[in-house]
Structure 1
Amino acid sequence: MTSPTFFDGPDGRRLAYHQTDGAGPWVVFLGGLKSDMKGTKALHLEAWAQQEGRAFLRFDYSGHGESSGSFEEGAIGDWAEDTAAIVAGLTEGPIVPVGSSMGGWQALLLARRMPERLAGLVTIAAAPDFTEDSYWAGFSEAQRAQVTTEGRVELPSDYMEPYVITRRMIEDGRANLVLRSPLVLPCPVRCLQGTADTAVTTETALRLLDHATCDDMRLTLVKDADHRFSDDRCLALIEAALTEVLTVAAETV
């Protein structure tokens, strides 16, 4: 596997990335919390883009993968700044973000920041506002007190070592919520969600569908698919959703 290139991001953060040149719109993969750009979905979509001759970008947020920084020092707003900076610096023209889990939240923040550039949007088990609706809402009184007084708490993960959740992540998350105020998505949107997902519920997917203002937004529920959403069946569904969004975008140009 080739070594990444590095982009000078906000506040001196160095962001690792891989870029494939091709026809626009640019497809930009946005990964999940504590994941990296070497995951199954990112690499599968990169191979798909190369086969299709499509411009593609995958990268690591600061504190993730091969980018600089510590995960525990980061927060939703930092990673939104990373995303906006690298998209502005490395791509031009229309974009189609593909956001997985926390990356779905990042895709929605990007849509707010640069709506004029969105040609389409695909989310996979999107987790908007999870710092408030999942972490804080699910904390016990003892955990809330620990975050407030000690500045951090550890949560177990089904997929890796425990997550360290900091007070800054909670407070910064509140400054970046997308389900409490108008969310206008000016492009075709396709949302994918597994019914066996233990990290993001179907209720979250339905809430996003109901909350957003969008003329062409569809949610596909996939029976028994889990949060990884990366077996052959799910990868084919991601391809199909992305292809559909790109086709609709091309027809409206």
Structure 2
Amino acid sequence: MDSSKGSSAASIQKIVIPNSNNEKLVGLLHETGSTEVVVLCHGFLSNKNDPVTKNIAAALEKEGISAYRFDFSGNGESEGSFYFGNYNYEADDLRSVIQYFTNMNRVVPIILGHSKGGDVVLVYASRFHDIRNVINLSGYSDLKRSLVMRLGENYLERITQQGYIDAEEYNIKYRVTKESLMERLNTDMHEVCLKIDKECRVLTVHGSADEIIPWEDAKEFEKIIHNHKLEILEGADHCYTKHLSQLVTTVMEFIKTVIVNH
């Protein structure tokens, strides 16, 4: 890889990739001409343009490393229905993206996800075993934890009675179906992490002041994942609002060791 190319040689291209259900996934490729493409995954109620993935993509571009950030199905510009759970479906979306680049004779050495995307990249690694480096930014180690806060008390009884619950966060209204809730409840991150190959390196980064997912979740990953590195960013919130440059530096240090040794 020629890392001297820098951002001047890069261009941002819109690339649409069909998933296994023939829904169009819309993404932006920061093309530097490198063989490697780092794939970036957004979180819940978010999209490819969130500040975390945008800043990391820009940093990769500066190092001459191509990056692809995309919308999961049912999110952003991508086709499909929006679901509350859907971890395995989104891991399948990620599979389609990785296969697309592999078929173009590119290499995906690293997958990175923020928040829900952090869980999705771990689910991916536990199922497909073809990626050697995973970056989990602020993911949940227990997917049951926030459900009472999000959906209210007795959410299971209520969803069983009416088949769905309507919820709202960040002024975005969404519907939780019984099927998507059960998928989330049945996704056991402890079991998922035990199925990740021992050769697969996992970096977990979490803010000590995360107001959505407690940093203790990151400590749980440290206990379960075999080949694991943990970085707690002091004072950072869930979206690293005032700590984006620190986040980017931490992530890039890890990525550079992977790409150089690739």
Per the shorter chain, which TM-score range?
A: 0.7 to 0.9
| CA–CA separation in structure 2 for the residues paired with 1:230 and 1:72 | 26
Find the counterpart in structure 1 of residue 247 from structure 2.
Answer: 238
Amino acid paired to 1:65: G
- Quick check: 1:20–1:55 contact (8 Å CA) kept in 2? yes
For 1:4, which of 8, 11, 14 is the aligned residue?
A: 14
| CA–CA separation in structure 2 for the residues paired with 1:76 and 1:189 | 18
- Quick check: 1:183–1:213 contact (8 Å CA) kept in 2? no
Shift of the alpha carbon at 1:243? 2.4
Q: RMSD of the alignment, in Å?
A: 2.6
For 2:229, which of 218, 233, 238 is the aligned residue?
A: 218
| Aligned length, in residue pairs | 246
Secondary structure in structure 2 of the residue aligned to 1:117: coil
Is residue 155 from structure 1 mapped to residue 164 from structure 2 by the alignment? no
Is residue 122 from structure 1 mapped to residue 135 from structure 2 by the alignment? yes
| CA–CA separation in structure 2 for the residues paired with 1:53 and 1:14 | 28
Find the counterpart in structure 1 of residue 220 from structure 2.
Answer: 207
Q: Normalising by the residue count of structure 1, what TM-score does the alignment of the two structures yield?
A: 0.85
- Quick check: 2:84–2:175 contact (8 Å CA) kept in 1? no
Q: Any idea what the Cα deviations from partners look like across 1:35-71, whole Å, max 9, x if unmatched?
A: 0001111221222222211021110001100001221
Specify every segment of 5 or more residues in structure 1 that has no aligned partner in the other structure, as ranges: none
Amino acid paired to 1:14: K
For 1:134, which of 146, 158, 172 is the aligned residue?
A: 146
Amino-acid identity (%) = 21
Is residue 75 from structure 1 mapped to residue 75 from structure 2 by the alignment? no
- Quick check: 2:73–2:90 contact (8 Å CA) kept in 1? yes
Q: Normalising by the residue count of structure 2, what TM-score does the alignment of the two structures yield?
A: 0.82
Find the counterpart in structure 2 of residue 97 from structure 1.
Answer: 111
For 1:146, which of 158, 165, 183 is the aligned residue?
A: 158
- Quick check: 1:80–1:110 contact (8 Å CA) kept in 2? yes
Specify every segment of 5 or more residues in structure 2 that has no aligned partner in the other structure, as ranges: 1-11
Note closer, same or farther for the CA distance 1:60–1:33 as it changes in structure 2 (3 Å cut). same
Shift of the alpha carbon at 1:141? 5.2
| CA–CA separation in structure 2 for the residues paired with 1:5 and 1:142 | 43
Is residue 191 from structure 1 mapped to residue 204 from structure 2 by the alignment? yes
Which structure has more helix as a fraction of its residues? 1
